[in-house]
Structure 1
């Protein structure tokens, strides 16, 4: 089976260099790479060209339209039997393609997703963010988990679809704001078999600062409402958890300032959550520093997602604004 690896790229030349270096080391060699430069100011032409003697790689430049439509551009030009999507800030383990190929041979999936993890080379903040996005104490616990609530929806940082899916379902119809979840639900609705390949993990750098992480998660919260507008039945109780946490946090601050008795209970609940995150993150990363940073990352994740969710729920669901 020939895999076509499709990577949208926007102003991140150093990231694509590191990603391509990991693809050179793949134990399974039947693959091509398509790098789609999506209207970048800082292009990676020279960097990609330096890999042409090591990889079957093609480089394309197009006007900026966002990652969803950049992936469609790659789908249209891919020659493989199976298309794999990576974000440019991922590092790929050497046995990734071999793992996927073996899994598809034994248990065919029309589309799949894989989990992500922190690489040892990541900074403490990156490790804390990675922990938060995969922790059972935040909404990240439902990502890359067979036991997640409802249908499994592959995420586009580590996702694969067969050529048959592309030919029948087409590509992404929105380019941002939850485009991968919309695509997954649409593939499900057409009767294709979708699942998780647990061992097909990537190392996902995500964001390098808490400020960038906040902006990303605020966007994710808004994206959940965007998906709701396409598929109202996709909104589950778990998606309201960050908004509930954000409101609880605000109520706790007010009750402490006004010295309401209920503040004692609120403080206790938050203290329990902080301790759970700290010791769980410590056990996972074997670092006290990362454990402390994980508390910050978790609170940023929940409040940023919650605020984005509340913002667009209020505007688009309550007031029916476009």
Structure 2
């Protein structure tokens, strides 16, 4: 099987350098790399072309249109039997393609997704953010896990599709705001088989600061409403949990301000919740600093998503604005 690795890029030259460097060590060598520079103000052509003697790599620059359409641009030019999508802020383990090719040979998936994890070289903030995105106490631990609610929807930081899926579906029809989940739903509805490849993990940097992380997760909360506009049945009770948590925190603040008796119970509950996060992260990361920051990242993960969800719930569903 020949793979086409497609990476949309926007103003992140350092990230693409690190990603391409990690791809040089793949134990499975039947692949090409297409870097789609989506109108960056800081083009990465020289960085990408420096790998021409190590990788079958192709650099394409196009006007900015968002990551979904940048991936379509790559699909149109890919030669592979199977297309693999990475975000530019990922590092790829050397056995990634070998694991994927072996799994696809025995399971014959039309599309797949894989988990993400924190690399040992990541900063404490990045490790805490990774915890916030994958913990059982925040997202339910279902990202990249065998156990998940309903259909499995691959995420575009680590996703693969067969060339046939591309030909039949036409790729992404959204370029932002939940474009990968919308695409996954259409792949399901087209009759293709989608699955998780548990061993096909990537090291996902995500954001380098808590403020950047907040903005990203707020965007994800809004994206859930955008997906609902296309597929109403995909809005599940579990998607309301961050919004309910956020409202609960707001109510707790008011209870404390007015000295209400219920405030004590709420404070104890929140303290216990944060202590569970701290000790769970400490067990996983073996770092008091990462464990402490995991409380912050987990709180941001829930409240940022909740606020984004609430914002577009009222804006687009209640007040019917575009």
Counterpart CA distance in 2 for 1:284 and 1:317 is 40
Q: Where does residue 174 of structure 2 map in the other structure?
A: 174
1:121 equivalent in alignment to 2:125: no
- Asked whether the 8 Å contact 1:139–1:242 carries over to 2, the reply is no
Superposed, 1:81-92 pairs within 5 Å as 81-92=81-92
1:99 equivalent in alignment to 2:99: yes
Q: Where does residue 250 of structure 2 map in the other structure?
A: 250
Counterpart CA distance in 1 for 2:321 and 2:145 is 34
TM-score, normalised via structure 2 length: 0.99
1:224-278: CA deviations, max 9, x gaps?
0000000000001110010001001001110001011111111111011101100
Q: Where does residue 203 of structure 1 map in the other structure?
A: 203
Gap runs ≥5 in structure 1: none
Superposed, 1:1-322 pairs within 5 Å as 1-139=1-139, 141-322=141-322
- Asked whether the 8 Å contact 1:9–1:40 carries over to 2, the reply is yes
Counterpart CA distance in 1 for 2:313 and 2:150 is 21
- Asked whether the 8 Å contact 1:36–1:59 carries over to 2, the reply is yes
Residue aligned with 1:218, SS:
helix
Counterpart CA distance in 2 for 1:285 and 1:114 is 21
Moved more, 207-216 or 266-275: 266-275
| Aligned residues: CA RMSD | 0.6
Counterpart CA distance in 1 for 2:283 and 2:90 is 24
- Asked whether the 8 Å contact 1:17–1:48 carries over to 2, the reply is yes
1:98-120: CA deviations, max 9, x gaps?
00000000111000000000000
Counterpart CA distance in 1 for 2:203 and 2:256 is 41
Residue aligned with 1:142, SS:
coil
Counterpart CA distance in 2 for 1:13 and 1:319 is 41
TM-aligned CA deviation for residue 140 of structure 1: 5.8
TM-aligned CA deviation for residue 142 of structure 1: 2.1
Counterpart CA distance in 2 for 1:43 and 1:135 is 35
TM-score, normalised via structure 1 length: 0.99
- Asked whether the 8 Å contact 1:111–1:195 carries over to 2, the reply is yes
Residue aligned with 2:248, SS:
helix
Gap runs ≥5 in structure 2: none
Counterpart CA distance in 2 for 1:312 and 1:132 is 23
Counterpart CA distance in 1 for 2:240 and 2:282 is 27
Report how many residues are paired: 322
